[in-house]
Every structure is written in C-alpha cells, then in structure tokens.
Structure 1
Amino acid sequence: MNPYLEIHPEVQQALAAGKPVLALESTIIAHGMPYPQNVQTALEVEAVVREAGAIPATMAILNGKCCVGLSQQQIEHLGQAKEVWKVSLVDMPYVISQQLDGATTVAATMRLAAMAGIRVFVTGEIGGVHRGAQTTMDISADLTEMGQTSVAVVSAGVKSILGIGLTLEYLETKGIPVVTFGQDEFPSFYSRHSGFGSPLRLDSAHDIASLLHTKWQLGLNGAVLVANPIPEPFEVPAPQMEWYITQALHAAAQQHIKGKAVTPFLLKYIAEHSKGESLEANIALIKHNARLGAAVALAYRQF
C-alpha cells in the first residue's frame, strides 16, 4: 500500500472483494459549483453510483493525505472551505508535503485511481487544448495523464470553452481512443453537438468495457475517453453557449485572468450570465455520466 494513500473502508472492502468501484473527482465540489449545490450534487452523484450497483470513491487530498473515498463530513468540508487548492499533477508533491487540502482535477484523480487499482473514472468534462494554444501553449495536463495512465474517463466531452477540434487531434496523437456513447457526433459538454464527428461510437456499456479490456490486454497503456452526451432536455444549444463563451473569454482577457484561474472564472461567468442554465446542465450531466460509468465498471468485471 502506498503510504500516501488513505482508502475509505467501504472502498477498500469493495476493491478486496472485486466489486465495481467508480472514481469521482472533487474539483467540482471545491471549485466547480457554489455552496450548497456543490455538496448536494456530490452526495447525489454518489447515491446514483450506488443505485447503479457500484461503490463511489470521491478523491481529494486532505491534510496531505490522498483520500480515496470521502465521508459526508469530508465532502462538506471541501464544499465550504476557502483555502482548498485546485490540484493537478504539478501541485501534488507540494500540497502533500505541506499537508494541505486539495480538490483533485481529472489528471490528479486519474493518478490516485490508478494507484488504488480503480479502472473507471467519471467527471463532468476533461481539460484539453485551449483556444489560442498556438501562442499560449496552454494544454491541460489531463491530456498527458490520459496518454499514460490506464483509467477510463467518462465525461460529457471536453469543456466547450476549449478548442474541441484541437483537443481531438491531440488525443489522437497521444493514442487515446475517443468513443462517443450512442451517437456519431462528439458532444461539447453543455450541448450534445459540437460540429465534430466522433472518432468512434459504441452503444452499450458492455462494448465499452470490452474495448477497455482489449486495449489494456494488448499492452496499450493509457486512457480511453468515453464521451457521454448530456440528456437532451438539459442541453444548452451550442450557438447559445458559444455566445456566452465568447463574452466570458473577452471578460477574462480584460481582467488579465491567466493560468489556473481561467477555467473557474469562465465557468462562473457563464453560470451567472446564463441565469443558472449552465449550472443546471452541469448537475444533470454529471449524474448522467455517473450512471454510464457505473454500468461500465459493472460490465468490466466480466473480463
């Protein structure tokens, strides 16, 4: 057992018994939504996972320990605390060595899941290649982590604030299969549509699990991105969302928002200016992803 890992007893028992366990990230709790919606959503997502037959393992760093599975009290703490780091791979050594609290991004959650032996991870969306990356070189560590860590990532696509076409090209370069569940077009987080075709399509959790098993049995390390389109009643039409994104990007540039602060700023701006429409969509899609992720984790046990 890695000395930095602290695995919740329920998760530990499930792993030992070979039961399906589903990894969940914590950035959505500390940095993705306002309180109390953040805590309520996190608890509801865990309930969705349990109802689907899997055990949830929400990840975070608390007092320098890599927690795999959180108590309700710990989730409440993350949802209300003010000094919680947004932790990607580059931050992990510092946050852990200084015994700080951190909410894990996609990349950090993937690494903790792999350390604990968990194969399937659910999030809202992944990071990717930012618009204007040809001059800023702003590419999320999520993509490099996906190129080397063998954990499946179920999301509603990549953040619509990013360069979706550029991100798909980068994923191909890294050898990361991208499969969309149930449709031929790659989704764009808040919308079921992006204007980009999906490299692959599969229509069942069993087929996705079979793809994962085959990839890793071939010795091909790295993730598979499973794009799960947001349920149609909750989607925000892509042209409408693009208008919000354009306004948010302009506001960020005017206020000289850079680096890690960009994504939380943009998401907050969009939520405020869409009168909560984007927040409602975010909550719906993360629950939708949790159902598919749990089904994939259950199906993967057959292989």
Structure 2
Amino acid sequence: MSARDAEQDTENARPGPSWSDRLPALSTGVTQLSNNFSSIAQRITPARNGEQEDGQSWQRRIANLSGQLTGALSSAFGSADSATAQGQLVISPDVIKALRENTAVVALESTIISHGMPYPQNLETARAVEAVVRQHGATPATIAILSGVPHIGLTGAELELLASRGPQVVKTSRRDLALVMAKGLDGATTVSATMLLAARAGIQVFVTGGIGGVHRGGEVTMDVSADLTELGRTPVTVVCAGVKSILDIPRTLEYLETQGVCVAAYGADEFPAFFTRRSGCAAPARIDTPELAAAMIRHSARLGLGSGAVIGVPIPEEHAAAGAKVEQASQQALDEAQQKSLQGSEITPFLLGRIKELTGGESLKANIALIKNNAAVGAQIASALAAS
C-alpha cells in the first residue's frame, strides 16, 4: 500500500466528534449517576446501630469512584485522540505513556520560550524547567502549535525551533488557535491556549511564570486577559507566581471570584505579585501541601465544576532581593508610561522593555528562578494527584 493510499484510508476512517469532545457530556452523566447513587445511600434506613455509618461510607466510595472514573475517561480519551486525531492533536510518546499509566504530567506553555526571553536563555530555561519537572517525578508536556498542529510535549529539536525563531512564532491565545491552525503556522501558546489544549489531552496541572489579569484602568478600557475567562471554564489548575504588579491585582482577584475560580497562595497568606512575595492583597485561600492541592483538584472534578484554579507560589526567599529591585523598577516604568500617555497594546511592551533596562538584567534572573520554583511545586502537586 502506498503512503498516499494509507493517508486516504486514515482519512476515511477518521471518526466524527473526538472522545475529548464527548468527555464533558460523559462526565456530566457520571456525575448524575453518582448523585443518584448518593441519593439512594442517603435513603437507606438503618435496621440496627451502625448501619447509618455504612450508608455514609457508601456515599464516600461512590463519590470517589465518580472522580476516578471521570479522570480515567479524560486520560484514556486524551490518549486515544492522540492516536486518531490525524493532525488535530499530537501527543508525544512519553506523555501518552504517562497518561495511560496514570502517572504525573505537567503542562508547560511556549509563549515564555518564544516571546518571554531572548535566545539562548529561553532555550536553556525551557530545558531546565522540563528537567525540574522530571526531578520531582512528573512528565513535562510543553505545548505549542507546529505547522498548524497542536503538539502536547515537544522534542529537543522542536524546543530549539521555537526558541531560535523567537517573536517570529505567532503568539497564540484561545482566540487565535483556529486561525493559526488553518494557516498551518507555528504558534506559541499563551496561558489560555495552553490550558485549553492541556484539558483536551487530559492534563490537570499546568505550570507557568504568571497569569494575565485586569490591566490598570481596565474598568475603562476593558483590557482584561483571556487567561481569566479561560480559568472560569477550563478545569486545569495553574501553578504560577501570581500576577505582575503592573496589573490591577485587586480587580484581577475580584474578576476571578466572579468566574468562580478558586485562588490560593501556596504556603502564604498573601497573594504573590510575581517578582515580589507580597502584593498587599490577602489570598482568598491558603494551601500548604501538594496533597491538599491534589485533594482540591479531585473534589473539583467530582463536583463537575468545570472551572480551573490558581495556586500562587511566592518567589523563593533567596531571590526576594532581586525581586524587590525589579518591583521598584516596575513602579518607575509605570510612572513613565503614564507620563507618556501610553494606552492599550503600547503599555505592556514598553513596561517589560523598560524594566529590563532599569534592572540591568536582574528581572530575567528573577524570572527564571521563580519559574523553576513553580515547576517544582507543580510537579509535586501533579505527583500527589496521580498517587491518589
């Protein structure tokens, strides 16, 4: 059989809706089934002392079974899709293996590689972050679009391609995914796009540097990151260093509350502000262990909440001094941006460039340090989730 004939046979055999597309309906059905069983268990009339406890025990077992079944369906269907999507989603062999064996997987974005750092530091950082994930018992799954095809997990050569091309690679948010794919382009996924694709593959934990938020003056300009709405509708937990102080942190937290997103600080009472451990904003919740984070993720799945979560990890103490220097530069850059009357899309590039100038490269060092720290915490959470 020729390659062309094989391609034609594959095209003819391609299924309609993917299993990942069917998963939400199946998950809802599992949840309804669990609720029905729980209702029955609640109506069990105790015939003797101790039987009420037995009924409650059955409720716990049923809820646990529901969560395990939903997670298994997600992983199995994500793996099945990787083999049958034929150009719609490509999952690397090591990620497929981890999903099938229900071991820990951590999603990583690619915008930070192509747009967040200069070459070759971006490539070195990407490799180092993947190494940190592996050191803590998880499989890294860096996500990007290559020639119009979403890839979940990249080879060394693919990482180098993204890093060397840098800003030439299309920065790809949820909004841009379909068009980048239609044009057959290379795309570096932002938080929102990475979350969406991670969920399609059955990955529940995603590590990044920081999430987007409500921009200062956003109540007038309506400049609100797509990351926030994605968190409200995609069940992926994002481990990050919070949001940069150049954003409006109080309004960002309010927006996440409106979206029904659980926001917690890891080992702290105050929500972190990326380069600094303190933002002046109390965290809505606190999580101190990977096991507690994993339990939260499991319960969210069992309830079928359908939303993600944010776990803000403060920059390590040993890098706090560098972070403080960056924070001071951030405030100066903000003042200069206001004096220049910059607006909309002009603001962020100016701020990031100016901060780099003012800190003499310290911002890059602090950025790399906090991303590695986030990767360690995220891998520990994913490992605890897999173990449970």
User: Under TM normalisation by the shorter chain, which class is it?
Assistant: over 0.9
Give the conservation status (yes or no) of the 8 Å contact 2:144–2:187.
yes
Greater length-normalized contact order (CA 8 Å, ≥ 6 residues apart): 1
CA RMSD of aligned residues (A): 1.7
**Corresponding residue for 1:44?**
128
Does residue 148 of structure 2 align to residue 64 of structure 1?
Answer: yes
Residue 262 (structure 1) shift: 4.2
TM-score, structure 1 as length reference:
0.95
Give a deviation string over 1:58-115, Cα, whole Å, max 9, x none: 0111110101001111111111115211110111111110011111100000001001
Q: Distance in 1 between matches of 2:193 and 2:224?
A: 15
Instruction: Find 1:157's aligned residue among 233, 242, 259.
Output: 242
Q: Distance in 2 between matches of 1:215 and 1:188?
A: 26
**Corresponding residue for 2:272?**
187
Does residue 347 of structure 2 align to residue 266 of structure 1?
Answer: no
> 1:120-199 counterparts in 2 under 5 A?
120-199=205-284
Residue 276 (structure 1) shift: 1.2
Residue type of the partner of 1:42? A
Give the conservation status (yes or no) of the 8 Å contact 1:182–1:201.
yes
> 1:13-52 counterparts in 2 under 5 A?
13-52=97-136
Give the conservation status (yes or no) of the 8 Å contact 1:236–1:281.
no
Q: Distance in 2 between matches of 1:136 and 1:236?
A: 34
TM-score, structure 2 as length reference:
0.75
Give the conservation status (yes or no) of the 8 Å contact 2:325–2:359.
no
> 1:50-89 counterparts in 2 under 5 A?
50-81=134-165, 82-89=167-174
Residue 16 (structure 1) shift: 1.4
Does residue 328 of structure 2 align to residue 248 of structure 1?
Answer: no
Give a deviation string over 1:229-249, Cα, whole Å, max 9, x none: 110111257775454224334
Instruction: Find 1:277's aligned residue among 362, 366, 370.
Output: 362
Q: Distance in 2 between matches of 1:46 and 1:238?
A: 23
Task: Tell me the number of residue pairs that the alignment of Structure 1 and Structure 2 aligns.
Answer: 302
Give a deviation string over 1:140-197, Cα, whole Å, max 9, x none: 0000000000000000001221101110111111110111111111110000011111
Residue type of the partner of 1:48? V
Give the 4+ runs in structure 1 shifted more than 3 A: 236-243, 249-258, 261-265
Give the conservation status (yes or no) of the 8 Å contact 2:276–2:327.
no
Residue type of the partner of 1:127? G
Residue 226 (structure 1) shift: 0.4
**Corresponding residue for 2:181?**
96
Gaps of 5+ in 2: 1-80
Change in CA separation of 1:47 and 1:28 when aligned onto 2, cut-off 3 Å: same
Residue 252 (structure 1) shift: 4.9
Q: Distance in 1 between matches of 2:367 and 2:386?
A: 29
2:314 counterpart SS class: coil
Instruction: Find 1:118's aligned residue among 203, 210, 214.
Output: 203
1:128 counterpart SS class: coil
1:77 counterpart SS class: helix
Change in CA separation of 1:257 and 1:101 when aligned onto 2, cut-off 3 Å: farther
Give the conservation status (yes or no) of the 8 Å contact 2:213–2:228.
yes
Give the conservation status (yes or no) of the 8 Å contact 1:29–1:39.
yes
Does residue 302 of structure 2 align to residue 217 of structure 1?
Answer: yes
Give the conservation status (yes or no) of the 8 Å contact 2:276–2:324.
no
Q: Distance in 1 between matches of 2:382 and 2:273?
A: 24
Change in CA separation of 1:19 and 1:291 when aligned onto 2, cut-off 3 Å: same
Change in CA separation of 1:162 and 1:15 when aligned onto 2, cut-off 3 Å: same
Give the conservation status (yes or no) of the 8 Å contact 2:237–2:308.
yes
Give the conservation status (yes or no) of the 8 Å contact 1:30–1:79.
yes
Give the conservation status (yes or no) of the 8 Å contact 2:337–2:350.
yes
Q: Distance in 1 between matches of 2:254 and 2:114?
A: 30
Structure with a larger share of its residues in helix: 2
Give the conservation status (yes or no) of the 8 Å contact 1:248–1:270.
yes
Gaps of 5+ in 1: none
Give the conservation status (yes or no) of the 8 Å contact 1:193–1:238.
no
Give the conservation status (yes or no) of the 8 Å contact 2:261–2:309.
yes
2:203 counterpart SS class: coil
Does residue 95 of structure 2 align to residue 11 of structure 1?
Answer: yes
**Corresponding residue for 1:298?**
383
Change in CA separation of 1:116 and 1:128 when aligned onto 2, cut-off 3 Å: same
Structure with higher Rg: it is 2
1:189 counterpart SS class: coil
> 1:217-236 counterparts in 2 under 5 A?
217-236=302-321
Q: Distance in 2 between matches of 1:208 and 1:42?
A: 25
